[in-house]
Amino acid sequence: MLQISNRAYTPLLHDQILVRMKLSPINPSDLIPIRGTYRHRIQLPAIPGYEGVGVVEDIGTSVSPTLLGRRILPLRGEGTWQQYVKTQVNLAIPVPDDIDDEIASQIYINPVTAWLICTEELRLTSDDVLVVNACGSAIGRIFAQLAKVFGYRLIAVVRNDTYTEDLRSLGAWAVVNTSKSSLVNTVLELTHGLGATAGIDSIGGQDGEQLVNCIRPGGTALSIGLLSDIPIDWARIYQQNRNVTVKPYWLKRWVEGVSDTRWHQTFDEIFSLVMENKLTLQKAKKQFGLWEYEKAIQETEQPGRNGKMLFNL
């Protein structure tokens, strides 16, 4: 059950900062635990929200006063769907002046996930073909743009033609509308019978299984979301595709093991892409007050939505 509540203020630890939140987006990764899909990974009560941007209003005794008034991404601390967030200073990400609040608020979950998949998990190059379903989504658009950065060929999978031209202009090599064409047959035709090198599934269920069937022997399929709320039958997929590596990709696992240096370096790399106009993120479709959370979530889940819903805190 999601509800608004007030909490008593507790003093900061010596290495903490208090951030007055400005904007926080609503992502599918926020809604999945709210719907109860990841019960085993969420300890209740919990505050939703994985990302957002705010301004440092208070600091612990060991924190430099130069951070006061700075725009910060207060990550890996408390949930960001609240007016004030505490986090450790070594985990907070300062925001460059050239990046506005709407873009800064979205710079973590989708950009970092896509960047790490391309650079560390799959190590994609110009020799690779990547197939991505739900590609009209925020993260799908990022994979399309990263195709220009890394040189891989992207096959964008959609269910209608709403985003076809946009995805092509962003960097997609081909766009497959599954309401008109067979995904597997089209991918095989595009790749001369070989199949894609790798795939990214954000949907689960039958859509996820079809994507796995597009991958060539020795390739990899990653599950990064569950928009359908229907889990993939991993055991059956493994039996049918023994020559394809199929596994979930959880940003959380990288976060738990990353050094502070690499953590900050990753954001520096993404900030650079944004400032060099190699990566653009969608402007918000609408902003809501936190008390409007029910309406905000309803509009987020509307089909065909184009642009993020943000909480203006």
132-161 tens-digit pLDDT: 999 999 999 999 999 999 999 999 999 999
Measured CA to CA, the distance from residue 313 to residue 22 in angstroms comes to 5
Whether residue 161 sits in one domain with residue 33: no
- Same domain as 151, residue 236: yes
Find out whether 221 and 212 touch, Cβ atoms under 8 Å. Answer: yes
| Domain assignment of residue 170, yes or no | yes
> Residue 40 has what pLDDT?
56
User: Are residues 58 and 12 in contact, defined by beta-carbon separation less than 8 angstroms?
Assistant: yes
The domain in which residue 25 lies consists of 16-107+281-312
Does one domain contain both 74 and 164?
no
Question: pLDDT value at position 37?
Answer: 61
Residue entry with tokens 């899909």:
37
Query: Are 151 and 79 contained in the same domain?
Result: no
What is the domain-level CATH number for residue 115? Answer: 3.40.50.720
Please state, in angstroms and as integers, the Cα–Cα distance from residue 133 to each residue in 14, 29, 240, following that order.
45, 16, 20
Residue 204 to residues 78, 114, 156, 175, Cα–Cα distance (Å): 28, 18, 16, 19
Residues 6+ apart with CB under 8 A from 313: 20, 21, 22, 23, 24, 52, 54, 82, 83, 290
On the question of a cis peptide bond just before residue 33, with omega within 30 degrees of 0, the verdict is: no
* Same domain, yes or no: 137 and 189: yes
Quick one: 290 exposed, middle or buried, by C-beta within 10 A (0-12, 13-18, 19+)?
middle
- Which three-class secondary structure string do you get for 239-253? HHCCCCEEEECCHHH
Q: How many domains does the chain have?
A: 2
Task: Give a yes or no: residue 271 inside a domain.
Answer: no
Give dist(CA 149, CA 128) in Å, integer: 13
The pLDDT score that the predictor gives to residue 46 is 84
Name residues of the chain where pLDDT drops below 70.
36-42, 304
Whether residue 21 is contained in a domain is answered as: yes
The domain that contains 57 carries what CATH number?
Answer: 3.90.180.10
Residue 268 falls within a domain, yes or no? Answer: no
* Helix extents (H) in 191-259: 205-212, 234-240, 251-257
Report if residue 266 sits inside a domain. no
What is the pLDDT at residue 304? 67
Which letter does DSSP use for residue 166 in this model? H
Residue 267 lies in a domain: no
pLDDT at 7: 85
d(CA 276, CA 252): 28
pLDDT per position as a tens digit, 189-202: 999 999 999 999 99
The answer to whether residues 85 and 169 belong to one domain is no
